[in-house]
Amino acid sequence: MFNFTSCSRLRVGPSSSSIRPFFGLSETQPNAQHFSQLYGPGRTLSPRPSPFFSSRTSRPPSRNYTGPSGSNNNYTFNRNLTYGCIGTAITVYAAWDYSRRGVIYSFLAPELAYLQQLGVPVQKALNTRAVSDFLNKYFLLHSNDTSLSASWLGSAFSHHSILHMGLNLLVWSNFARLLFPLSRVHYATIILGSALTSSAAWVYDAQRKYTSGNAAALGSSGIVSGVMTAATMFYPTLQASLFGILPMPLWVLTSGFLALDYYLMESPGASRIGHSAHLGGAAFSFLYYTLFLRRYGGIFGSRRF
C-alpha cells in the first residue's frame, strides 16, 4: 500500500513503493512425509513446477479443501481469479499512465476504434481530466473515506508505479498458488477481506496521524500480506528464501515483516508506506484461518506436523 499526503485532492505523482521483496523456495521443500502427517495417509501428491520459485512445491490434494470429490475445479477457478486480479491491476495502471501522459497503448487502438464506430463517445470518455477524476474517485483511497466505499476495494488494485505493481503482483502470484486448492469461496474471501480490511486499517491509522489535510493511498500490498499470511498459516515450516539468498521458515519470514511493519507504523515521522494496511490484511487472514480454515490443517489445525 502506497501513502501520499496532500492538502487537497491528490493527483498522484512518482513516489517510492510499498512492496514485498521477491521470495523463492529453497531446496528444502515439503516432502511426502510432511504432507502425509499434515493431511493424513494414503493421499497422492502432485508436484507443480513454478517459473518463480527455485524448485518444485508439492501441491496438497484438492479433496482436503473441497470435500470428498477431490475436484480440480476450485484450483482452476482460483488460479483464473488470480489472473483476473492481475489483469485488473494492469488495466488500472495503464489508466493512471494515460491520465498523466495522454498516451494510449497501441494494442488498445483497434478496440477503441471499433467502439467509436459503434457510436460510443470514446474521445469524451478518454479525456485525460475525466480519466484522472474517475481514478481519483474510485481507485484512490483517501483518509476521509471513513465509510465503506468503492475506493476501499478499487485502491487495492491500483498502482501508480510499474515497479510497485510488478513486485506486488509477483509476490501475490507466488504465494497464492499455495492456496489454490482452497474452495473458491474461501480463496475469494481472503482476497476481498484482505483488501477491505487493509483499507479500513489504513484509514483508521491516517485519521490518527494526519489531523490536517488529506492523505491518500493505493496498492495491492494489503492483499499480498493477507495471502502471504494465509499461506504461512497452512505451511509455517515451508522453507522460503529472502532475495534468493537467505533461507528461513515461512513463519519466520512473515512474522519478521509484520513486526517490522508495526515498528515502522509506530515510529515518529512520516512514512510513504502504508504499514497499517499490511497489518490489516494480515490480521484478516489470520482471523479467517483461525475461525474457518484451521480444520484443514496448518499451524493451528487438528492435523499435526
Asked whether 23 and 240 are in contact (CB, 8 A), the reply is yes
Is the predicted pLDDT of residue 288 greater than 90, yes or no? yes
Among 25-39, 125-139, 181-195, 227-241, the least confident range: 25-39
Is the predicted pLDDT of residue 210 greater than 50, yes or no? yes
How far from the centroid of its chain's Cα atoms is residue 65's Cα? Answer: 21
Q: Which helix (H) or strand (E) holds 23?
A: strand 23-25
Q: What is the pLDDT of residue 215?
A: 86
Domains along the sequence of the chain with CATH: 18-39+66-296 (1.20.1540.10)
246-258 burial by CB neighbour count: b if 16+ within 10 A, else e? ebebbbebbeebb
Beta-sheet strand order (sheet of 214-218): 2-6, 214-218, 141-142
Mean pLDDT of 54-66: 40
Please state whether beta strands 141-142 and 214-218 pair in parallel, antiparallel, or not at all (unpaired): antiparallel
Q: What is the pLDDT of residue 273?
A: 85
How is residue 186 written as a grid cell?
474461501
Q: What is the pLDDT of residue 245?
A: 77
| Summary mean pLDDT of the chain | 77
| 98-144: pLDDT as tens digits | 888 776 666 667 777 777 788 777 666 677 788 889 999 999 999 98
Mean pLDDT of 92-96: 93
Q: What is the pLDDT of residue 134?
A: 92
CA–CA gap between residue 73 and residue 79 (Å, rounded): 10
Q: What is the pLDDT of residue 66?
A: 45
Of 221, 236, 227, 231, the residue nearest 278 (C-alpha): 221
Report in angstroms the alpha-carbon separations of 72 from 75, 86, 184.
5, 21, 11
**Helix, strand, or coil here: 145?**
coil
Is the predicted pLDDT of residue 12 greater than 60, yes or no? no
